[in-house]
Amino acid sequence: MTGALDGIRVLDLSRVLAGPWATQILGDLGAEVIKVERPGKGDDTRGWGPPSTEIEGQSFSAYYLVCNRNKQSIAIDISNPEGAALVRQLAAESDVLVENFKTGGLARYGLDYDSLRAVNPRLVYCSVTGFGQTGPYAQRGGYDFLIQGMGGLMSVTGETAAAPVKVGVPVIDLFTGLYATIAIQAALRHRDQTGEGQHIDCALLDTSVAILANQGMNWLIGGVTPSPMGNAHPNVVPYRTFAASDGHLIVAVGNDGQFAALCRVLGREDLGANPDYLTNECRNRNRATLEPELEREIAARTSADLLAAMEAEGVPGGPINRVNEVFADPQVQARGMVAPVAMGGAETPQIRFPPVLSKAPATIRRAPPALGADGVEVLQGMGLSDAEMRRLAKAGAVHLPAAK
């Protein structure tokens, strides 16, 4: 079964996470992805361990494994003129190129958008940078942690403003990868209609501003600068963690009917009938008196008993799972979120593409590649002879895997 993007070739010049996350998604959806890496070390994340796994004499970090499946790897030195020429030839035969060099960094090699548009006007060229192609910060390097701070996310994360906290996974990189994927598919649709490619300018800071979502709009509409609220919600009450007798759980009441049901579960129908708490607006305004009442009632019950009673009454809630508990969860297992992939005679677990498509499902067809492992295959597909490949390897333009 072929994916929805079967027939699309993606040239991946990106490293670390945001770009590789986007190209992996495209690969999961059926695209052919050719990952161009630096000879010697390759993608920075290959060495971002432990944890790492050793396969056929090469180390693969968990970080690298999470965002590089469904790709071929070729090791090309783009600072070598013949290496840059190889990449230009690949770009001429590709539908999409994704890169995350500093703004303007690829122009010196003739691999910038304007140069490649001249050889392939249909090319969709996606640049992922910290701050974008324009503006006073355009030449700065950007990293997820830095942008979480600059983009406001850390200012609303954690318990208090005195101790800013980043999110526990690199969400700015991941969201930027998702936005890049959406934009690339839109650009391909535009190309289908017009025959013309385009340049996509993705910035981590832009992403961070966009995902402020309700917090950003709270400021734009309400004029109040949001502050960290721990596990509480700025707009919805009760929507936070509570301490049961044996540990913490989440109560996520999203409407007035669910609040009335929670009050029944707790045996506190009086709270549900209290005019101060009848609507979410009232509860938000009076959370200082409501939440201590809920805390006392919840603290007297075990997590399991309370969650079971809440489920029976249709009140959203759940445990706070550690990562090992997530993968042991029966719902996660029933959904098949972990898929093994053959890799060097063994199996390596992969976390599957989340959406389930009924007609053109995402698939895992290739394990994350060893550095340069597919160089011969890629160059043969370009029509190069064995003699020409050996010449380019000798010239340092490309590093090919040793013959087995």
Mean confidence (pLDDT) of the chain: 96
Report whether pLDDT(189) > 60: yes
Q: What is the 3-state secondary structure (H, E, C) of the chain?
A: CCCCCCCCEEEEECCCCHHHHHHHHHHHCCCEEEEEECCCCCCHHHHCCCCEEEECCEEEEHHHHCCCCCCEEEEECCCCHHHHHHHHHHHHCCCEEEECCCCCCCHHHCCCHHHHHHHCCCCEEEEEECCCCCCCCCCCCCCHHHHHHHCCHHHHCCCCCCCCCCCCCCHHHHHHHHHHHHHHHHHHHHHHHHCCCEEEEEEHHHHHHHCCHHHHHHHHHHCCCCCCCCCCCCCCCCEEEEEECCEEEEEECCCHHHHHHHHHHCCCHHHHHCHHHCCHHHHHHCHHHHHHHHHHHHHCCCHHHHHHHHHHHCCCEEECCCHHHHHHCHHHHHCCCEEEEEECCEEEEEECCCCCCCCCCCCCCCCCCCCCCCHHHHHHHCCCCHHHHHHHHHCCCEECCCCC
Dump pLDDT digits (tens) for 18-68: 999 999 999 999 999 999 999 999 999 999 999 999 888 888 999 999 999
pLDDT value of residue 148: 97
Dump pLDDT digits (tens) for 132-168: 999 999 999 999 999 999 999 999 999 988 899 999 9
pLDDT band for 402, please (50, 70, 90 cuts): confident
pLDDT value of residue 302: 97
- Catalytic residue, candidates 43, 144, 173, 206: 173
Dump pLDDT digits (tens) for 198-226: 999 999 999 999 999 999 999 999 998 99
Dump pLDDT digits (tens) for 226-250: 999 999 999 999 999 999 999 999 9
Q: State yes or no: is 44 an active-site residue.
A: no
Q: Domains along the chain?
A: 9-211+335-399 (3.40.50.10540), 239-321 (3.30.1540.10)
pTM of this prediction exceeds 0.85: yes
